Amino acid sequence: KWITNPRMILLVLLMAFIYNFAVEPLLLNAERMEEKLNLLEPFIAIINSPITLLFIPLVFLSLIADYPVTDGNAILYIHRIGRIDWLIAQLVLLLLMTITYLTIVFVSSCISVLFHSHISSEWSVVVTEFEHTFPDLPGNFGAQLLPKNLYNQLSLTDALMQSIFLVFTYLFIIGLLLLMFTLIKKKILIQLKQYHKKNAMIKVLM
């Protein structure tokens, strides 16, 4: 039900925004240097940018706004399977939704640079050498997406794994908050706040 929910159209809007905001500037820098990006670099840039990290959780919150589903039949199957089993099932569902969401973002970012990238465990020269090659372009936005402190202090693999872990934890906690508010019967408050944030986000994307 979650995957086929009409709200999934928000993912299309998010992917379009991410491409224009984060992927396209990196591709432009790669074209200037006549080099290829690492296939994983756009995704690392996406989940480390303060701007995209504002929209990614908001879209996720919009997609799981009715989590956990407590429709007319909920009382019957909760009573049948037991509260503990129902709670465990909701946690498993949240885990799968979070993994699915991040996987979609990851795959879409890889596809967008598939023909302009290579696969390796090292940062590309587009990221590490752009400012040295083009000193006349200070403050280049594509270069700022992957700042020096990221690629100088962490290997590409470490940056990828740590970023995924932190964003995954962030999204999972959002789902846990929804579950907690449902259990204490205060979910209507967070739904109202989420509704106003979603409307504001859609206006920005449009």
Task: Check residue 66 and give its pLDDT.
Answer: 82
Average pLDDT in the 88-100 region? 92
Average pLDDT in the 139-157 region? 80
Q: Which amino acid does the sequence have at 86?
A: W
CB-based contacts of 52, cutoff 8 Å, min separation 6? 17, 18, 21, 22, 46
In this prediction the pTM is 0.82
Handedness of CA 66, 67, 73, 76 (dihedral sign): negative
Mean pLDDT (the chain) is 82
Token output for 13: 């809007």
Burial 135-146 (b: 16+ CB within 10 A, else e): eeeeebebbebb
**Inter-residue contact 162 to 29 (CB < 8 Å):** no
Does residue 94 have a pLDDT over 60? Answer: yes
Tell me the per-residue pLDDT of 103-147, one tens digit each, with 9 for 90 and over: 999 999 999 888 888 888 889 888 888 777 777 766 566 677 888
- Tokens 């973002």 — which residue? 105
